[in-house]
Amino acid sequence: MGSDPQMSLPVTSVSYHSTVPLGTSTLQDSGTNTFAGYIRPNNTTSVIFTYLVVSGSNISASSTPTSTTPFTWTTNDALTVNIVYEAA
């Protein structure tokens, strides 16, 4: 996990606005915590990951995971994604 994780799409997608969610994600800190998130387009060939952050009574999905957030990634931690998009 780096500072700006992205994933290449197997097939080029149609163009989406950058805030349109294309799927969901789960960030699993092995045996400790689970964080929900969503996948959004970076461009027509890749997507970026975000995770949900609670601040008071507000929920924000603008945080991008890094090697140390939302937790320090180690052995057996996992990022699971479910993406649906239209091919170009």
Q: Residue 19: pLDDT above 90?
A: no
Rounded-to-integer distance, Cα 50 and Cα 73, Å: 15
Per residue in 24-65, pLDDT tens? 999 999 988 999 999 999 999 999 998 888 878 888 776 888
For the chain, the helix, strand and coil percentages under 3-state DSSP, each to the nearest 5? 0, 50, 50
pTM of the model: 0.82
Is 88 part of any domain? Answer: no
Q: Are 49 and 37 spatial neighbours (Cβ–Cβ below 8 Å)?
A: yes
Residue 25 falls inside a structural domain: yes
**What span, in angstroms and rounded, lies between the C-alpha atoms of 54 and 84?**
26
Does the residue 46 lie in any domain? yes
- Per the structure, the complete domain to which residue 62 belongs is given by 6-83
